[in-house]
Amino acid sequence: MIKYDTFYLQCPCCNSWLEGHTVKSEMVNKSVLYSDGKTLNDNFITEPQKIIKCPACSHWFWVEEYKEPVVTYVKPNVPYYNWNHWRFFGVHFNSVEGRMALVNHYKGCLEVIKNDKEKELYIRRMMWWAYNDLVRNNYQMKLDYLLSGKMSFNVWRKNRRKQEMGRLLFKQHHDEYIENIKTLLLLVKGRYTPDDEEYEASILEIIELYREMGEFKEAQKILNTIPRRTHYIANIEKEVKKKHDFVFLVAG
Ligand SMILES: [Zn+2]
């Protein structure tokens, strides 16, 4: 059974065709959620990539929604670039260097968009996640992860080295990371009122941003105003109490 929908879109500058995929939501086997809101369905990020850099002419363009007529599901009868050529700007996402390159791409995007707050919010959130990707799976370094049998010893050892490198880079860029999430917080704060559908999700994001900034008192203050304790909120609160400021795996 085909788990993916394949779509095609055209660069508005040079008319090259690009191919991409979306996971069919009804066929997802495994969903993974992290504390910063990044969600993976069968290892694919659920957040659509709104900025595309054309692999043929390097033109940057914005795709707000992957819907017709911007995309088509009809295969063009000319050659096209496959997903890996433009997804995450073509970086090799599995390597630590690739993750850092992604951060730098987002920095470049910020320079291009000038004063568009909507776009800035999207880019800063993506940049936040890209920094966090450096340390996102640090839990796999632990011995109990090896003992759980999810990785062979050799794979675990190699992965552990990658996690350590990611951690080092994350620490080296920590000032920039904080600067980015502080600005992101300002963009998210006050954006929604309790009447908006997005309000609850934005409150959770604000709590998480405070936590990752190390502002545990502020995070707790907002947590105290939330009557409901979902699995997600309970986990965030636990980490706030422990004064942990790293992204962590919530479910998956
Ligand atoms: Zn192009």
What are the pLDDT digits (tens) for 3-46?
Answer: 888 999 999 999 999 999 988 877 888 899 999 999 998 888 88
Does residue 1 register a pLDDT over 80? no
Task: Please check whether residues 179 and 207 belong to one and the same domain.
Answer: no
Going from the Cα of 43 to the center of ligand 1, the distance in angstroms, rounded, reads 28
| CA gap 130, 170 in Å, rounded | 10
Mean pLDDT of 170-184: 97
* Residue % of the chain over a pLDDT of 70: 99
Going from the Cα of 123 to the center of ligand 1, the distance in angstroms, rounded, reads 21
Does the predicted model carry a pTM greater than 0.85?
A: yes
**What local confidence, expressed as pLDDT, does residue 227 receive?**
86
Q: Alpha helix locations (H) across 114-251?
A: 117-133, 143-147, 153-172, 174-188, 199-213, 216-223, 231-241
Going from the Cα of 182 to the center of ligand 1, the distance in angstroms, rounded, reads 34
Does residue 137 register a pLDDT over 70? yes
Q: Which of 40-49, 197-206, 209-218 has the lowest mean pLDDT?
A: 40-49
Task: Please check whether residues 176 and 208 belong to one and the same domain.
Answer: no
Going from the Cα of 97 to the center of ligand 1, the distance in angstroms, rounded, reads 25
Quick count: other Cβ atoms within 10 Å of Cβ 103?
A: 22
Quick count: other Cβ atoms within 10 Å of Cβ 236?
A: 21
Provide the residue type at 34 as one letter: Y
Domain count along the chain: 3
**Hey, is 115 helix, strand or coil?**
coil
251 falls within a domain: no
Going from the Cα of 66 to the center of ligand 1, the distance in angstroms, rounded, reads 18
The owner of tokens 């979306």 is: 22
Task: Please check whether residues 85 and 141 belong to one and the same domain.
Answer: no
- Of 90, 108, 130, the last residue of a domain is 90
Range of the domain at 34: 1-90
Mean pLDDT of 94-120: 92
25 falls within a domain: yes
32 close to 249: Cβ distance less than 8 angstroms: yes
Give 32's strand partners: 40
Going from the Cα of 75 to the center of ligand 1, the distance in angstroms, rounded, reads 18
Residue 228: which pLDDT band, with cuts at 50, 70 and 90? Answer: confident
Mean pLDDT of 101-116: 92
Going from the Cα of 64 to the center of ligand 1, the distance in angstroms, rounded, reads 18
Angle (nearest 5°) at CA 247 between 129 and 173:
60
- What's the mean pLDDT when you consider all of the chain? 93
Going from the Cα of 90 to the center of ligand 1, the distance in angstroms, rounded, reads 14
Does residue 94 register a pLDDT over 90? no
Q: Which long-range contacts (CB under 8 A, 24 or more apart) does 219-226 make?
A: none
Task: Please check whether residues 204 and 179 belong to one and the same domain.
Answer: no
155 falls within a domain: yes
Give 45's strand partners: 40
Does residue 158 register a pLDDT over 70? yes
**What local confidence, expressed as pLDDT, does residue 43 receive?**
83
Quick count: other Cβ atoms within 10 Å of Cβ 150?
A: 10
Task: Please check whether residues 74 and 20 belong to one and the same domain.
Answer: yes
Task: Please check whether residues 141 and 178 belong to one and the same domain.
Answer: yes
The owner of tokens 């992957």 is: 66
Sign of CA dihedral 192, 194, 196, 199: positive
Going from the Cα of 52 to the center of ligand 1, the distance in angstroms, rounded, reads 10
- Of 41, 69, 90, the last residue of a domain is 90
Going from the Cα of 78 to the center of ligand 1, the distance in angstroms, rounded, reads 15
- Of 56, 72, 90, the last residue of a domain is 90
- The overall longest dimension of the chain from CA atoms, in Å, is 58
pLDDT in tens, 231-251: 999 999 999 999 999 999 998
Task: Please check whether residues 82 and 100 belong to one and the same domain.
Answer: no
Task: Please check whether residues 159 and 204 belong to one and the same domain.
Answer: no
Task: Please check whether residues 182 and 97 belong to one and the same domain.
Answer: yes
